[in-house]
Each structure stands twice: as C-alpha cells, then as structure tokens.
Amino acid sequence: MATHVKRAFKYRFYPTDAQAAELSRTFGCVRKVYNMALAARTEAWVLRQERVNYNTTSAMLTAWKKTEELAYLNAVSSVPLQQALRHLQTAFTSFFAKRAKYPRFKSKRKSGVGAEYTSSAFRFREGQLTLAKMAEPLDVVWSRPLPDGIVPTTVTVSRDAAGRWFVSMLCDDPSVKPLPVTDAAVGVDAGLDHLLTLSTGEKIANPRHERRDRAALGKAQRRLSKKAKGDGANRAKARAKVAKIHARIADRRRDYLHKITTRLVRENQTLVIEDLTVRNMVRNHKLARAISDAAWGEFRSMLEYKATWYGREVIVVDRWFPSSKLCSHCGALTESMPLNVRTWTCDCGRTHDRDVNAAANLLAAGRAVTVCGDGVRPQRSTPAGRSSVKQKTPALKG
C-alpha cells in the first residue's frame, strides 16, 4: 500500500462571539492541563526519581476533572486536553533522546495559543468544518481547495498575536509524488546583499521585508512603550497593532520563501547549502536585524521538507568549509577574505565574484559526496533526504 505525504492546509476563519469564547476557554484549559502535567512529571522525578508517562498523566486528568477546583475542565472538549498530554509526552521523548531541551511551562502571553482536535472531535462534511461543543460550523475562508477525496485526520485551531484565527487541517495528500529524476544540481550560497546566490551565477534579490515596515513598526512600538503596563484596553490595542505589523512582515517573507524553495526543488535534483549557525550569527548586533529578516533557517527548513516530498536531495556542507576563500578554478586557498571584499583575483589569474564562487565551491563539495565521498565526511546524523558533509582537506578542487 502506497504511503502518502502528511500535509497541513492552513486557512483563516472568522468565529462567532460564542465560538471565540468557546475556543478561548479551550485554549486556557489546554495550557492549564499541560502545565499541571509538566509540574507533576517534574516533581515525580525530582522527589522520587520516577518517570511519569502519558497513561499516568491521562489518569491524573480524569482525577482533576472530578475536583471542585478544576471542574471547569469538563466544560470543553476532552480531546484537545488529551492531545496536550500527548504533546508533552513527545516533548519528554525528545528531551531524553537529547534532541531538545527540557519542556517549559506555557505562558499565557508568550506561548502560542492553540488546540488540536482528532477525528472524533470534529466533523468535516461538504466543505464545512464543525468542532466538538459547537452547534455551528466555522466560517472558514477556503483560499485553496483541499485535494479531492481527502479527509483531515487532525484539525488544529490557533489564534496569533495579531488576533487572527487559523485552522490547520492535517491530511494524507496523495497528490504529492516524487518529481521526474534530473541531472541538475545547484550550489546555494546565502547572503544579505542578495538573499541567495546560485552556482549558475544567478542572484536572487533580498526584499528586506522588515525594512519596508520599519518606520511603522517603530512608531507602533514607541506608542506601546508609553502605555501603562498591565491588562488595560489601551495597552492591548497598542500591542495588537505591533503584532499586526509583525504578522504582515512574516506573511510576506514566508510567501517569498515558499516561491523560491518550490522553484529550486522543481528545477534541481541535488541542492547543496551551507550549515549556517544563525543563532550564533545574530549575536553580531550590527547584522542581527538583517540576518533575522533574511530567515535563512526558515529557507533551509522549507527546502528540506519539500525535497523529501518530491524525491530530491539536500546536502548540507559543514559551516567551516572555506567556500568563500577557496578558488573554484584551481583549488587554492586564500588566507583571509574580509566581508567587504566582493570580488577577488586568484593567483591563477581567475577573477571571482565572492558569492558565485562560494556557491560553486558548495556544489563541488556536494558532488564529492554523491560521487564517492572523497574529501568529506558526515557531520552528524540527518533525516532522510539530506546529507551533511565536512571538509577534511583545506582545498577541494572543482
């Protein structure tokens, strides 16, 4: 039996006042149950070195609902509460496997708000979605149709900081299939002057989405800072204004990256990128804003999951590979290459554009992996559809 890709389709919806109140109660209960279960698991380990699993926390939830203090948990659907416990179990599994940090408590303001419903807690019929505990279907804006004949397996409802409501429907999508195999391969160098430079010589512009709204964002942030701290209505309005500008910037950035990554995956069988440590790079206060706006991490994430979907390969070259300082023609290594040097001439006489040369060297390193593994080695374990390499020798001729 063929396996289908799990794909989420996200839509905006506009709840009625009653639906908004019900969902807000559900969000609060989900956060409460998650935090109580996390506290119970932490206490059990600290005091008794006892590991508490999902089944135990599920029994705890049943007991909590019977108490007078927590009786309000019965007013919302039980499915999102159980899903919160499952998510906590997943978080602990990742922690014990050393893939993530210790789970943290959910904050009312700082954590995202949402609730997940499985198939037993929603009804999807004739293009209408109705959640448990609700009499009327949600007013969903179907910006794109779901693939014919598929039914969502889970539905996640969320509200962002700007006050917008979204529903994400997870489906088995049979329409996502591997693309025809091609010989095309490309090296991709990320930058700031240009968002991406390809080994073909093409440069993809950096729209600098945040800069377009910087004046409006600064004005809104100054107004927010002048409001009295607390839960006042004026401060809430000012906070929502800031959040809306941030959301507008993020939407434009995400749309741009989706278009770029889809095109690259469709055109190339192999894509070679550099393993950039964005978290460390943003410590440079002069470049932090520009680096965050470029969203290299989001670009890599999109590229990797789309490559997995469509049968492509993403090779990640180690961050210490001297892609900019290496001559892609003769393999000579230049000792230093300041950031302000955009073009340079090698001793062999070849003049290089810094970014195009770096992309060409990344492609050469990636090809070394796919052909024979010569001159490179695995950097760390990676998911399917992606390889990661590290240079052994100071020069890699391409």
Question: What are the per-10-residue average pLDDT scores of the chain (398 residues)?
Answer: 77 96 95 96 90 93 95 95 96 93 88 89 92 94 86 94 94 88 92 91 92 93 89 88 94 95 95 84 81 90 93 89 82 78 78 86 83 46 43 34
Which one of the listed residues 116, 274, 293, 313 is annotated catalytic? 274
Q: How far apart are CA 186 and CA 266, in angstroms?
A: 12
- What lies within 8 Å, CB to CB, of 127 at 6+ separation is 142
Residues 22 and 93 reside in one and the same domain: yes
Asked whether the whole model's pTM tops 0.85, one would answer: no
Q: What is the structure's pLDDT at 3? A: 63
Give domain status of residue 328, yes or no.
Answer: yes
3-state secondary structure of 100: coil
Task: Phi first, then psi: give them for residue 287, nearest 5 degrees.
Answer: -115, -5
What is the Cα–Cα distance from 177 to 161, expressed in whole angstroms?
35
On whether residue 230 sits in a domain, the answer given is yes
Range of the domain at 169: 5-173
Residues 195, 234 within the same domain: yes
Same domain, yes or no, for 163 and 190? no
- Domain termination site, one of 143, 173, 203: 173
The pLDDT, as a whole number, for residue 372 is: 56
Cα gap 65→75, rounded to integer Å = 10
172 is catalytic: no
- Residue at a domain's end among 125, 151, 173: 173
Q: What's the pLDDT score for residue 158?
A: 95
193 and 164, same structural domain? no
Beta strands 386-391; 313-317: pairing state: parallel
- Which of 173, 207, 224 is the last residue before a domain boundary? 173
Nearest alpha-carbon partner for 26 in 162, 192, 155, 119? 155
User: Distance between alpha carbon 162 and the CA centroid of its chain, in Å?
Assistant: 19
Whether 251 is a known active-site residue: answer no
Query: CA distances (Å), 73 to each of 29, 69, 76, 153, 334, in order?
Result: 6, 9, 6, 24, 65
Element (H, E) at 205: strand 203-205
**DSSP readout, 239-266?**
HHHHHHHHHHHHHHHHHHHHHHHHHHHH
Instruction: With beta carbons less than 8 A apart as the criterion, state whether 103 and 91 touch.
Output: yes
| 398 within domain boundaries | no
Total number of domains constituting the chain: 2
Answer yes or no: do 149 and 191 share one domain.
no
**Is 110 found in the same domain as 27?**
yes
Catalytic pick from 116, 189, 293, 304? 189
Query: Looking at the structure, do residues 132 and 205 belong to the same domain, yes or no?
Result: no
**Residue 179 forms part of a structural domain:** no
CB of 131 closer than 8 Å to CB of 152: no
In the DSSP assignment, the letter for residue 340 is: T
**Residue at 327 is within a domain:** yes
**Do 351 and 213 share a structural domain?**
yes
d(CA 83, CA 80) in angstroms, rounded, equals 5
The alpha carbons of the chain give a radius of gyration, in whole angstroms, of 25
Shared-domain flag, residues 95 and 121: yes
Amino acid 259: pLDDT: 96
274 is catalytic: yes
d(CA 132, CA 152): 15
Same domain? For 13 and 114 the reply is: yes
Q: What is the pLDDT of residue 229?
A: 83
Residue 344 placed within a domain: yes
Are residues 69 and 102 both part of a single domain?
Answer: yes
**Same structural domain for residues 269 and 150?**
no
User: Are 355 and 341 spatial neighbours (Cβ–Cβ below 8 Å)?
Assistant: no
